[in-house]
Amino acid sequence: MTSVADIMADADKPRRWGWWYVTELRLREMRGYVSYVVTSSFANPLMYLLALGIGLANLIPEGMDGVPFLVFVAPALLMSTILTIGAEEGMYPVLSGFKWHKIFFAIHATPVTPGQIVGGFLVHLTIRFTFTAGVFFGFLILFGAVPLASGWVMIPISILGAFSILTPLGAYAARLEDDTGQFALIQRLVVMPMFLFSGTFFPLSQVPDWLEWVGWVSPLWHATQLGRTFSYGAIEPMWLSATHLVVLVAYSAIGGYFMHRSFVARLTK
């Protein structure tokens, strides 16, 4: 008969690598929709750059914030693209893993823990976001929209920004019994306004005062502003840049904590 000690030793590998097995699974599942990910990764930046960067830039020859409009808007385009995908990934795929697809329950029947399921899920998304942000960044370079060499730092910032939206939404989605329109509402009342009022197309200072708070609570504004300092050396006080980073990390960490709690609650109910 196998002793408890033997069993514990057996379970050692999944105890250390469980998160990676989950990532492996998500990567394999991705084969089914990889063409979508690749196509949209290329099509999105191209569309944005042509429409906003080139089209709109011609209307604003004087530029903005002391740089050509394309340079000003480029970090915002990158950030809003990756953050929007982050918001999507935190909603439907999370609920689906419990409700329709039920794959989280299947994984939890094995030695893999709820924490490792969350971890593997996020690691897979990190890989995916890195790819999409990398392609986007490549287009920005191609269009001459990133003057500084430090511009690549926008890629990790965009991923951090994506997680700062994804994890709070994931914490919420994991507790939903069903989607009866909540996701569409979040899309319209949270994600869209954030996109419009986060100093994306014009500086936050030009947003009416009574709407400025939207920017301050918006991960998109913090990610975009931080991106601008690395992309073209936008001038802002050091404390403000530090605040951007702190806010993004805080959203991600607190969101991650609650997302983990939601997963534990649902999987051990």
Return residues touching other proteins (CB under 8 A).
1-4, 7-8, 10-15, 17-18, 21-22, 24-25, 28-29, 32, 101-103, 105-113, 267-269
Between 61 and 268, name the residue whose CB sits nearer to other proteins.
268
If the CB atoms of residues 196 and 267 are measured against other proteins, the closer one turns out to be 267
- Please state the closest distance from residue 31 (CB atom) to other proteins, in A: 8
| 129, 158 Cβ separation under 8 angstroms | yes
215 vs 88: CA distance, rounded Å: 20
| Cβ nearer to other proteins, comparing 19 with 197 | 19
Count the helices and strands in the chain (H runs, E runs): 13, 0
Q: Closest distance between other proteins and the C-beta of residue 102, in Å?
A: 4
Nearer to other proteins, 97 or 168 (CB): 97
CB of 99 to other proteins, least distance (A): 11
CB of 6 to other proteins, least distance (A): 10
In sequence order, the β-bridge partners of residue 67 are 64
Tallying the residues shown for the chain, one arrives at: 269
For residue 52, the minimal CB distance to other proteins (Å) is: 34
User: How far, in whole angstroms, is CA 153 from its chain's centroid?
Assistant: 15
d(CA 139, CA 232): 16
Please tell me the distance from the alpha carbon of residue 22 to that of residue 187, in angstroms, as a whole number. 27
265: Cβ contacts below 8 Å, ≥ 6 apart: 174, 175
Task: Say if residues 220 and 198 touch (Cβ distance below 8 Å).
Answer: yes
Residue nearer to other proteins on the CB measure, 5 or 235: 5
Instruction: Select 21 or 129, whichever has its Cβ closest to other proteins.
Output: 21
Structure tokens belonging to residue 19: 């998160």
Q: What are 76's two structure tokens? A: 């915002």
Could you tell me if 19 and 119 are in contact, meaning their C-beta atoms sit under 8 angstroms apart? yes
For the bound state, the minimum distance from the C-beta of residue 4 to other proteins, rounded and expressed in Å, comes to 5
